[in-house]
Structure 1
Amino acid sequence: MPSVLGVLERRERVALARAEELRAELERVQAAVAEAEEVARRAVIAREETVAALAEAADEAAVCDAPAGRPAPVLAAVGLGPRVEVPLWRDGLGIEALPPDCARIVALVDQDGAGGGEGVRARRMREHLGWPASDAKEQAARFRAKRLVERGWLTEERPGLFRPRTV
């Protein structure tokens, strides 16, 4: 008959070995999660840089090639329209100082913030503006929202999630 202490020691060794196996597996899973998050982060940056580059190219094409009063063909192709001039936010400046689409985006985000929402994404902005469902139009809404962030009208707490400006 085996001793009770011998049985308990064997169970302890088995449990410790299992715990070590699980720690090694946890490290592998954590490394895989970190790698996936890095890939996602780089994809977001690549997408944002592409939209900015397309907008910049569209702006240059509009300045160089567009007949007066009409956007250049490149602008229509990427769905960005003419460059939108957004003034820097300052006390006393209301949304009426913004271009119409930008004013509607700020009003939507402010309304969401007043209702305790988590923030507004570009798809909802595109829908609110009444633009057709397309990636280009969604990118155009996101680009405008990012410009509003740069100029102090909105904040972007997480990538692609826009909230009202914090006072």
Structure 2
Amino acid sequence: MPSVLGVLERRERVALARAEELRAELERLQAAVAEAEEAARRAVIAREETMEALAEAADDVAGCEAPAVAVPVAVGVGPRVEVPLWREGLGAEVLPPECARILALVERDATGGGEGVRARAMREDLGWPASDAREQAARFRAKRLVERGWLTEVRPGLFSPRTA
């Protein structure tokens, strides 16, 4: 008859081996996710560069000042969000509704003397459910507003109105 300690030791070895298998699978999946995210990031950059180059080429042909060109932005897997480059005279009405609300929240915070707004506050102001994905979506939109000249990122993850 097997000893109780022997049975427990065998169970422990099996559980540790399973944990190691799962750890290896997790590492493989994390690497695959990182590769997919990098490919998506490169595709977004390529699309944006193409749109900007086409806009510049159209301007060269027309020989006039650059019009506001809406450039599509991929945010997660959801719909495209178009954020035009900021220029004098453009108002928040040209922004997608969610981006306009983020801009309004950041401006309200600045008027109230705040040091900036984080993605969590943006997610809450948009009425989105509490989740990391929704917080990331708000952060991506804010970063897009920074790239397009509508906001400033004073510190990583802390957004304030555009500086003159």
Check whether TM > 0.5: yes
Percent identity, please.
Answer: 75
Equivalent residue number for residue 49 of structure 2: none
Number of residue pairs the alignment of both structures matches: 102
Q: Distance in 2 between matches of 1:125 and 1:53?
A: 25
Question: Where do 5+ consecutive residues of structure 2 fail to align?
Answer: 1-33, 45-73
Structure 2 SS opposite 1:86: strand
Q: Distance in 1 between matches of 2:40 and 2:153?
A: 20
Letter in 2 for 1:118: E
After TM superposition, the structure 1 = structure 2 runs for residues 1-167 of structure 1, keeping only pairs within 5 Å, are 53=38, 56=41, 81-167=78-164
Q: Distance in 1 between matches of 2:39 and 2:137?
A: 10
TM-score by length of 2: 0.55
Letter in 1 for 2:87: R
Q: Distance in 1 between matches of 2:40 and 2:81?
A: 10
Q: Name the one with the larger strand percent.
A: 2
Q: Distance in 1 between matches of 2:43 and 2:123?
A: 20
Question: Where do 5+ consecutive residues of structure 1 fail to align?
Answer: 1-48, 60-74
Alpha-carbon shift at residue 143 of structure 1 (Å) = 0.2
Q: Distance in 2 between matches of 1:57 and 1:130?
A: 30
Aligned CA-pair RMSD: 2.8
Structure 2 SS opposite 1:106: helix
1:119-149, Cα deviation, whole Å (9 max, x unpaired): 0000000000000100000000000000000
Larger Rg: 1
Letter in 2 for 1:90: R
* Shift >3 Å, 4+ stretches: 52-59
Q: Name the one with the larger helix percent.
A: 1
Bigger relative contact order, structure 1 or 2 (CA pairs below 8 A, ≥6 apart): 1
Q: Distance in 1 between matches of 2:97 and 2:145?
A: 13
1:1-55, Cα deviation, whole Å (9 max, x unpaired): xxxxxxxxxxxxxxxxxxxxxxxxxxxxxxxxxxxxxxxxxxxxxxxx99x7486
Letter in 1 for 2:161: P
Q: Distance in 1 between matches of 2:156 and 2:81?
A: 21
TM-score by length of 1: 0.55
Q: Distance in 1 between matches of 2:93 and 2:160?
A: 19
